[in-house]
Amino acid sequence: MKWSQTLIPTLKESPSEAEIDSHKLMIRAGLIRRITAGAYAYLPLGTLVLNKVITIVREEMNRAGAIEVFLPALQHLDLLKESGRLKVFGADLITFQDRHGKETVLSPTHEEVITYIVKNEINSYKQLPITLYQIQTKFRDEMRPRFGVLRSKEFIMKDAYSFDIDEKGLNNSYQLMYDAYCRIFDRCGLDYIIAEADSGAMGGDASHEFMVPSPVGEDILILCQNCGYSANRERAESAPFSPQENPSKEKVKEIFTPGKHTIAEVSDFLKVNPMQMVKTLIYSSHDQLFAVLLRGDHEVNETRLAGVLGLDSVELANLETIERVTGAKTGFAGPVGLKMKIVADHAVAAKSNFVTGANKTDYHLLNVNPERDFKIDQVANIRYVTKGDNCPRCNHVLEISQGIEIGHVFKLGTKYSIALKAHYLDADGKEKPKIMGCYGIGVNRIIAAIIEKSHDDNGIIWPMSLAPYHIIIIPVNVKDSICMDAAKDIYDDIRAMNGIDVLFDDRDLRPGVKFKDADLIGIPIKIIIGKKYTETKEVEIKLRKSGEVSFVRMENVRQELERILKNQTKI
Ligand SMILES: Nc1ncnc2c1ncn2[C@@H]1O[C@H](COP(=O)(O)OP(=O)(O)O)[C@@H](O)[C@H]1O
Ligand SMILES: [Mg+2]
Ligand SMILES: [Zn+2]
């Protein structure tokens, strides 16, 4: 491709709308332009990259035996109502009424649609297993679309759905996708971590997120450098603390703490560390009340809490309820004398002589001890991991970092097939729900994640697998016909090479501008035809990533390129 014939509008300055490097560079390198909040146009260079990602994804899906389909972006609300997910998506759904008044939605994902199709078209165990996938646009009215294509309202997802007759089949389908994801991200040149993720109703090892560690990532990642344990924040747990041996239990003392409700206020007022305090939260689930005890500096993880109690959801009780059951204004609840089930985090069970609410407005208790002063009904891991926590597997100290979620695999089980009645007839003639898995990859996000990791002050550094062009040919002076003829010869020669995409910078611009642009758009290999060519017939070959330079005679260019392409670690 000749630069003059395509559209690569590079910018010198970073646009003010962009906060992070990948977003800035995607705009400056002319890959994308913002059209409205969370919606981007892909210009020619961006489209080339997008198509390279899509090709890799498609090849690996097909290799894994998944079958491609293409579902509509439009669906009506009924399916989401039937699956019960209307509430889950809430304001993220982009809905409208069509001209007949039918409530219509731009699909945020396609579990319901695919289940509907498979329910109608697949009835027998003989037609299973099957994994169907598509590469298509999703719409979510994200609360905070930001960082360019990293979190947008309209984005391309590869979504796949597996249908099996039993759990063994599901495990097999899941593993095939998991392995395909590894191949995809490896081929894209991404460094990623596979983190255990919350697995909802399925429990166990039923969900993994593929994360690229990055300070701009919006997901929190818990990692153990010693044994490799990794999980997202929702899912991660820590090793329980061992209780102090034979603590000398002091006498309980009631203390006046006027108007001090929060951990911070009480900690300040009494000069005790929040670690020495216990907070009591009153929760409800289906009208059942229970109390949750956490160390003052810890935060409850409601997903875990619901999980350990075997409940579908839990919510904090309202103010009136709290005041009724504790007999005090909120902020003064405590476990002593409380008449309900008490669930305590491990860290609380291991503590002695702590400060907690007195169930009496404006009072707290000092020196409270579990077992002696109140009974814990259940000890469990119900909180988020914090700094200083240890690995649940090997007890090494855990690391907390951030990551970009680029893919997600999930064993769904029968959630959708039961809700939407997607059954099949088993070999013995019995009707059973199909067992499902779902698997998503953020296609646009891969591009942003790569750039975030692979760039320098001058611009993007593409891996060969995603580079819009592998080679750029730069004649330094387009008016010098000897150089220009040589550049054209090289261009024709490379165009004939298999699988190599080449860009010819035929613009009549100052060499400095052309070199800067070539670096900005990140082309792995530059071939520069300059003054030296007229003197010694040599051209310069320069690698974007390593900066390595070689001078080769015109007739050896092809050979040198083949040598470079063989050793892809440098490019
Ligand atoms: N708003 C978005 N913009 C870009 N990519 C997204 C967005 N939301 C999700 N993705 C991508 O789609 C993949 C599958 O989506 P899903 O797991 O349903 O998303 P989430 O975890 O945000 O609910 C994610 O791993 C991510 O790579
Ligand atoms: Mg996800
Ligand atoms: Zn570990």
CB half-sphere exposure, 473, CA atoms < 13 A: 29
What pairs with residue 159 in β-bridges? 134, 440
Q: Are 552 and 560 in contact (CB under 8 A)?
A: yes
Helix (H, G, I), strand (E, B) or coil at 276: helix
| Ligand 1 contacts CB of residue 148 (under 6 A) | no
Ligand nearest to the backbone CA of 159: 1
149, 445, 446, 450: which to mutate for ligand 1, most atoms within 8 A of CB?
445
CA 79 to chain CA mean position, Å: 26
Any residues with CB less than 8 A from the CB of 208 and at least 6 apart, and which? Answer: 178, 194, 195, 196, 197, 408, 409
- Which has the closest alpha carbon to 353: 269, 242, 278, 292? 278
Residue nearest to atom 3 of ligand 1 (CA): 151
Taking the centre of ligand 1 as the mean of its atom positions, its distance from the CA of residue 440, in whole angstroms, is: 7
d(CA 501, CA 6): 14
| CA dihedral angle for residue 543, residue 544, residue 547, residue 549, rounded to 10 degrees | 30
Closest ligand to the CA of 395: 3
Residue nearest to atom 8 of ligand 1 (CA): 151
User: Which residues are paired to 213 by β-bridges?
Assistant: 403
Centre of ligand 3 from the C-alpha of residue 564, in Å: 40
**C-beta atoms surrounding 201 within 10 Å:** 12
Residue 114 corresponds to which amino acid? I
Cα four-point dihedral sign 47, 49, 30, 557: negative
Q: Is 501 in the pocket of ligand 1 (CB under 6 A)?
A: no
Q: Can you say how many angstroms the Cα of residue 319 is from the centroid of all Cα atoms in its chain?
A: 35
Q: What is the pLDDT along the chain (571 residues), one digit of tens a residue?
A: 999 999 999 999 998 989 999 999 999 999 999 999 999 999 999 999 999 999 999 999 999 999 999 999 999 999 999 999 998 899 999 999 999 999 999 999 999 999 999 999 999 999 999 999 999 999 999 999 999 999 999 999 999 999 999 999 999 999 999 999 999 999 999 999 999 998 765 566 799 999 999 999 999 999 999 999 999 999 999 999 887 787 889 999 999 999 999 999 999 999 999 999 999 999 998 889 999 999 999 999 998 999 899 988 899 999 999 999 999 999 999 999 999 999 999 999 999 999 999 999 999 999 999 999 999 999 999 999 999 999 999 999 999 999 999 999 999 999 999 999 999 999 999 999 999 999 999 999 999 999 999 999 999 999 999 999 999 999 999 999 999 999 999 999 999 999 999 999 999 999 999 999 999 999 999 999 999 999 999 999 999 999 999 999 999 999 999 999 998 777 7
CA distances from 341 to 35, 111, 290, 310, 479 (A): 54, 38, 5, 14, 85
Which residue's CA lies nearest to atom 6 of ligand 1?
442
Ligand closest in space to the Cα of 89: 1
Which residue has a Cα nearest atom 2 of ligand 1? 151
CA-nearest residue, atom 15 of ligand 1: 440
Evaluate whether 541 touches 549 at the Cβ level (below 8 Å).
yes
Instruction: Report whether 520 contacts 28 (CB < 8 A).
Output: yes
For every residue of 511-542, DSSP letters joined together read HHHHHHHHHHHT-SEEEEE-HHHHHHSEEEEE
Q: Which ligand is nearest to the CA of 236?
A: 3
Beta bridge partners of 194: 210
What is the CB neighbour count within 10 angstroms for residue 471?
Answer: 24
CA separation for the pair 374, 368 (Å, rounded) = 9
DSSP letter at 203? -
Q: How many C-beta neighbours within 10 Å does residue 11 have?
A: 12
Give strand ranges (E) for 381-518: 399-413, 423-425, 431-433, 435-442, 455-456, 459-460, 471-475, 502-504
Nearest ligand 1 atom, CA 404: 27
In the chain, the N- to C-terminal Cα span, in Å, equals 21
DSSP 110-142: -HHHHHHHHHHH--BGGG--EEEEEEEEEE---
Measured between alpha carbons, how far is 273 from 70 in angstroms, rounded to an integer? Answer: 57
